[in-house]
Structure 1
Amino acid sequence: MSPASRSGLQLVGDVGGTNARFALADITGPTPRLFACESFLCADYPGVEQAIDHYLRGASAQGARPRAAAIAVAGPVTGGAAALTNGAWRVSEAALIDAGFSSARVINDYTALALSVRHLEPQDLGAIGATPPTAAEETVVVLGAGTGLGVSAAVRDGRSEAIATTEGGHIAFAPGDEIEIEILRQLTTQFGRVSLERLLSGPGLVNLRAALARIDGREPEPLTPEAIVTRATAGEDALCVESLDRFCAIYGAAAGDIALVYGARGGVYLGGGIAANIVDWLRQSAFRRRFEAKGRFVGYLEPIATQVILHPFAALLGAAQSLQPGRDASSLAMAADVP
C-alpha cells in the first residue's frame, strides 16, 4: 500500500485485557478492508494513546495520519468512555480527539464483533456440529471467552438491525449436573457470587481446574490457562483433560441459554481468544449436546448453528463498520456495568 493510498484510511482498534490490535481501514465500500493489522501487549504501554502512537509511526509512515478512529474496548462504555474490565487502561473519545483525531468513537468489543458477523467469509468460521441454513435476517448472538467473557447480539427483524451490547458474561453460573453443583460450592466459597466469567475465561479455566482438584481432595500445582490447554490437548494430564472437557460443556450450556434469551435463530458465534485455539476439542466435546439440552426447547435449539470466529481481526472489521455512514451512536446500544 503506497503512502498516497493511505490518506483515506481510518484507524480501528480492538483493546482487550491482554492485547491491543490496530489496523488502517478503508470504509468506502460495503465491506470494510483492513491494512497493516498488528497486535501489541497492553502491558508494554502505559495507555492506549501511547500504543496508538507506536502503531501509527510504523503503519502510516510517510502517509497522512488517519482523521477518524474507532476503538473497541473490553469493558462497559458510558458517555464515550470505557475502562477495561480486566485491565488498567481507560479509553475515551475525548482523549482520542485530544491526541489528534478529528472524530473518535469508543464502542464495546462485542458490539464490534456483532457488527463484524455480516462480513465474515466461510473460511473465517469453524463449525461446531452441523451448520443448517438460516435466514440472513434472523437475530444472531456473539459470545466469547478470553481474558473475560463477552456477550452481544445483532437483533434483526428483517427490516433493520440493532446491536445489543451487554455485560452478559457476568450473569450467574447455572450448574447442569452434580459435579457442577460441587464446582459452584467450591467457587462460592472463594468468590461469593459466581458469574459465568468465573469459569468461562482464561482465569476461569484456572478456577475450574482448581475446583475439580479440590472436589477430589487435592490441591493442584498452579498452571496458566495456556499450560492447561497444552497439557490437555497433548493428553499429558488427566486433570487438565477433565478441566477442558468441563469448560467446553459449560460453554455449550451457556451459549444455549443465551441463544434462548435473544431468540438467536440466525446462529451463535464464538469469539474470544480461547475458542479459536480449541476448535477440534469443542467439536468432540459435550459443547453441542449441552447447547441443545434445554428440555422442552431442544427442538428450538437444534436448528441453530454454532460457529467459532477464526478471523484474528474480526473485531477490527466491526469497528470499521461502526464508522460507516448510517452507523450513529443511536444504533449502537451502550453497555451498562453489571456487578
Structure 2
Amino acid sequence: MSLASRSGLRLVGDVGGTNVRFALADVTGPTPRLFACQSSLCADYPGIEEAIEHYLRSVAAQGARPRAAAIAVAGPVTGGATELTNGLWRMSEAALVDAGFPSARLINDYTALALSVRHLEPQDLGSIGGAATAVANQTVAVLGAGTGLGVSAAVRDGQSEAIATTEGGHIAFAPSDDIEIEILRQLTTQFGRVSLERLLSGPGLVSLRWALGRIAGREAEPLSPEQIVTRATAREDALCVESLDRFCAIYGAAAGDIALVYGARGGVYLGSGIAPSILGWLRQSAFRSRFEAKGRFAGYLKAIPTQVILHPYAALLGAAQSLQSGQGARNVTMAADVP
C-alpha cells in the first residue's frame, strides 16, 4: 500500500537551526508510528512551506494530503507563531492552515523530545552512568547541545504529567574551577553575558576552543565543530582534545544542575545533534563525575541515570504524541510505568 493511499496519516516535523526533518505519522495506536522519515538542510528552502511541499512531493503523498500537522521548532512559540532562535525561518500555525492543513500546531522542539521519552526503547538510548533503571513515574529532564541548547522536562507526580517548555539553555554559565573562571572571562569579552548555550552547542564548542587557546597564549586556527570533534577523537590536536574534554565536563555539570532544578529522579536524557556523535567520549569523560559533584546532594544525583537519545527522529515521535494526546504542554493521564 502506497503512502498516498493511506488515510489518516498526519504530517510531523522537526525544525532546528540547521536541519529540518519530516515524517508521516499514524497516531491511532498507543505508540505513534512514523513513515517516510526524511532530513534536509533548512538552508535549501526559503521557508517551511516550501520544505513541506518538497517533502510531500518526494513521498508521493500530495494526493492524500495530511489534514493535520504538528511541527516541533527550535524556538519559543508564542500565540501560535515562532522565529527560530538560531535560524532565519519564521513560522505560524495560521500560515500552515493557509498552506492546506485544516489543523496545525507548533510546539517547541524540546517539548517534543520530552513527549517522546515514553516511547523510546532500550536500543534508542545510550547510557552514560547512574542507576541501571530510572524511578518509574518520576520527573525526567531533557537537554541537548546542537545548533543551540534546549532544555525541557516531563514533570510527573505519579498520576499525571505536564511538559515544562523552557529556555533553560540561556541560563548563565557557572564555572566550576579556575580554568572555567578564565574561560568565562575570555568569553565575556566576546559576548558580554555568557549563557550555557555559548559553550554547550556547536558554535559553543568553537568558542570554547578559542577561549582555551587564548588562555594558553596562542591563537587557534579556525575550525568547525565537526573538525574539532574529528581531530579530538583521532587524537590529532591537543587543543581539540582539551576542548572536547572540557565541553563534556561542563555538559555534565549543567545536566546535574538541571536535574536538581526539576527533581529529575526519573532520569536525565541528552538529545540533539552532538551527544550521539560523541557517546564514547562522554562515557570516558568527566561528564558523569561532574554531574554528581553537587556537594551535599551528590548521593541524590548518583541515583539518577543519564542517557543519550540515539533515536534520530525522537522529536518527530514527540510531535506525533502531541497530536495523539491532543496536548502540548497540558496535563495528560500517565501510562503505567513510563520511563
TM above 0.5, one fold? yes
Counterparts of 1:53-72 in structure 2 under 5 Å?
53-61=53-61, 63-72=63-72
Change in 2 beyond 3 A, CA 1:11/1:29: same
Which residue pairs with 1:194 in the alignment? 194
Tell me the C-alpha RMSD between the 2 structures: 1.2
Which residue pairs with 1:232 in the alignment? 232
Question: Are 2:12 and 1:51 aligned?
Answer: no
**Distance apart, 1:39 and its partner CA:** 0.3
Separation in structure 1 between the aligned mates of residue 24 and residue 326 of structure 2, nearest angstrom: 20
**Distance apart, 1:63 and its partner CA:** 4.1
Separation in structure 2 between the aligned mates of residue 327 and residue 196 of structure 1, nearest angstrom: 29
| 2:182 partner letter | E
Which residue pairs with 1:22 in the alignment? 22
Separation in structure 2 between the aligned mates of residue 4 and residue 92 of structure 1, nearest angstrom: 26
Separation in structure 1 between the aligned mates of residue 4 and residue 98 of structure 2, nearest angstrom: 25
Which residue pairs with 1:335 in the alignment? none
**Distance apart, 1:122 and its partner CA:** 0.2
Which residue pairs with 2:133 in the alignment? 133
Deviations 1:218-256 (A, max 9, x none): 111000000000000000000000000000000000000
Which residue pairs with 1:122 in the alignment? 122
**Distance apart, 1:327 and its partner CA:** 2.1
When the two structures are superposed, what TM-score results if normalisation uses the length of structure 1? 0.96
Change in 2 beyond 3 A, CA 1:3/1:240: closer
Separation in structure 1 between the aligned mates of residue 61 and residue 326 of structure 2, nearest angstrom: 30
**Distance apart, 1:328 and its partner CA:** 5.9
| 1:304 partner letter | I
Question: Are 2:35 and 1:35 aligned?
Answer: yes
Deviations 1:295-335 (A, max 9, x none): 00001100000000000000000000000144266449xxx
Question: Are 2:278 and 1:314 aligned?
Answer: no
Specify the SS of the correspondent of 2:151. strand
Separation in structure 1 between the aligned mates of residue 259 and residue 178 of structure 2, nearest angstrom: 24
Counterparts of 1:197-236 in structure 2 under 5 Å?
197-236=197-236
Specify the SS of the correspondent of 1:276. helix
**Distance apart, 1:61 and its partner CA:** 3.6
Change in 2 beyond 3 A, CA 1:286/1:329: closer
Question: Are 2:4 and 1:8 aligned?
Answer: no
Q: 1:206–1:225: 8 Å Cα contact kept in structure 2?
A: yes
| 1:171 partner letter | I
Specify the SS of the correspondent of 1:150. strand
Q: 2:107–2:328: 8 Å Cα contact kept in structure 1?
A: no
Deviations 1:118-166 (A, max 9, x none): 0000000000024432222100000000000000000000100000000
Specify the SS of the correspondent of 1:272. coil
Change in 2 beyond 3 A, CA 1:213/1:329: closer
Counterparts of 1:66-215 in structure 2 under 5 Å?
66-215=66-215
Separation in structure 1 between the aligned mates of residue 136 and residue 49 of structure 2, nearest angstrom: 38
Specify the SS of the correspondent of 2:138. coil
Specify the SS of the correspondent of 1:144. strand
Identity %: 83
Change in 2 beyond 3 A, CA 1:325/1:287: closer
| 2:103 partner letter | S
Q: 2:148–2:202: 8 Å Cα contact kept in structure 1?
A: yes
Structure 2 unaligned spans of 5+: 333-339
| 2:171 partner letter | I
Q: 1:3–1:62: 8 Å Cα contact kept in structure 2?
A: no
Instruction: Identify the range of structure 1 (4-13 vs 286-295) with the bigger mean alpha-carbon deviation.
Output: 4-13
Specify the SS of the correspondent of 1:49. helix
Which residue pairs with 2:292 in the alignment? 292
Deviations 1:157-179 (A, max 9, x none): 01000000000000000000000
Q: 1:111–1:164: 8 Å Cα contact kept in structure 2?
A: yes
**Distance apart, 1:91 and its partner CA:** 1.2
What is the aligned residue count?
A: 332
Q: 2:131–2:302: 8 Å Cα contact kept in structure 1?
A: no
Specify the SS of the correspondent of 2:245. helix
Which residue pairs with 1:336 in the alignment? none
Deviations 1:23-52 (A, max 9, x none): 000000010000000001000100000000
| 1:294 partner letter | K
| 1:51 partner letter | A
Instruction: Identify the range of structure 1 (320-329 vs 213-222) with the bigger mean alpha-carbon deviation.
Output: 320-329
Structure 1 unaligned spans of 5+: 333-339
Specify the SS of the correspondent of 1:247. helix
When the two structures are superposed, what TM-score results if normalisation uses the length of structure 2? 0.96
Separation in structure 2 between the aligned mates of residue 20 and residue 99 of structure 1, nearest angstrom: 18
Change in 2 beyond 3 A, CA 1:3/1:205: closer
